[in-house]
Amino acid sequence: MQPLQKRASALQTITEEAMGRLDIPTRQLKLSELEQRLAVPEVWNNPSEAQEFSKQAAALRSVVEPWQTLSAQVTDMLELMAMGDDSMNKEFELQLDALEAEVAERKRDLLYSGRYDDHDAIVRITAGVGGTDAQDWAEMLERMYLRWAEKAGMSTIQTERSAGEEAGIKTSVLEISGVFAYGKLKSEHGVHRLVRLSPFNSDNLRQTSFALVEVLPRIDAPDEVTIEDKDLKIDVYRAGGHGGQSVNTTDSAVRITHLPTNTVVAIQNERSQLQNKETAMRILRSKLAQLQMEQHAESLSDLKAGESANWGSQIRNYVLHPYTLVKDTRTKYEDKDAKSVLDGKLDGFMVSFLESSPSTDVQ
């Protein structure tokens, strides 16, 4: 019995330390407050606010409850062991094996300790130079992240999309919602390089294409990133569609510039100017939060002009010819099954990135 008790005690220590690092008591308190709000019928008079509360509660619950259950199970096992019934040793051993395996899996939660890791994510994909090949590559990346989100049980909303003239996309903005969405996706922040035989070249020559992926924490609450009105320049204009046709006949498109950092966000996806402005402000807050992390700035007033991602920060190579290999330039993690990676198999790259820099927010 003693070796089993020693294993259970060690498991209890690991569980308690993990719960402390994840600040489970604070998360539980916040969850209780949200549940109290949702229990009041009047909260549903504002459906969007109620849905936001529900989403926050679900995200907290997915982290808090598994750890609380593990802690209770280990405590109960130690109490039963203290009774000294050796006839249950085999059962205790099986339960310990299962609990140790679950704790090892759950310890991945500790990788998501960054300031915004528990937020949803905004993913902006921009085609680089290279015409149709680059635009096709940008669309391949868009599909890759959509497939990853689907497999990870996350929801996605297309906020903005600009199609290429012949194929592919010029830009795409996705909002991805789920547990630790930003914490997982922040590993994708940077330039992605593709090497393949061009399907758009009559000579079928080898082509290198680039696309920029910006990953931002979605900042919904204005008080998380406070922006002074005097620092904003807001322009409205008529939205234009593919080929130059008019999307609508009103000035619904919105461009917001954060003057101190020269950060610009333009949105024309919605029919309503108000909706476009709200979306643009949400993305601007997210960009500034990302910039603040990258520059290690204590406040927005300390920020310098710059971009959230730039074309010099190449992070990953995707080679489809003459061999197949996807390799991360930062962690050296690689996968020879390029087709599966482009089909959303990204968890290995994400975990490798987090394990190589577990305490940093900066890509």
Q: What is the DSSP string of 284-309?
A: HHHHHHHHHHHTT-SSGGG--S--SS
SS3 236: strand
pLDDT value at residue 1: 63
Contact 293, 287 (CB under 8 A): no
> Which residues of the chain have a pLDDT value below 70?
1, 221, 223, 239-250, 270-271, 296-311, 358-363
For domain 2-111, the question of CATH label 1.20.58.410 is answered with: yes
Query: In this structure, what token pair is assigned to residue 93?
Result: 């051993």
Using the CB atoms, write b or e for 100-118: b if 16+ within 10 Å.
Answer: beebeebeebebbbbebbb
Q: Quick check: do 2-111 and 222-302 share a fold?
A: no
pLDDT value at residue 279: 86
Contact 142, 162 (CB under 8 A): no
- The top-level CATH class assigned to 222-302 is alpha beta
Contact 276, 267 (CB under 8 A): yes
Q: What is the pTM assigned to this prediction?
A: 0.74
pLDDT value at residue 249: 52
Contact 64, 28 (CB under 8 A): yes
User: 121-221+308-356: what fold?
Assistant: Alpha-Beta Plaits (3.30.70)
* Helix pair 47-81, 89-106: axis angle to 10 deg: 150
* Nearest in space to 267 (alpha carbons), one of 163, 159, 164, 174: 159
- Amino acid type, 340: S
CA of 62: how far to CAs of 28, 175, 177, in Å?
A: 11, 20, 14
DSSP secondary structure code for residue 246 in this structure: B
Q: Sheet containing 190-197: give its strands across.
A: 155-163, 169-177, 121-127, 206-217, 190-197, 314-319, 325-328, 334-335
Domain borders along the chain are 2-111, 121-221+308-356, 222-302
* Nearest in space to 284 (alpha carbons), one of 232, 348, 361, 360: 232
Give pLDDT tens digits for 199-229: 887 777 788 999 999 898 888 767 677 788 8
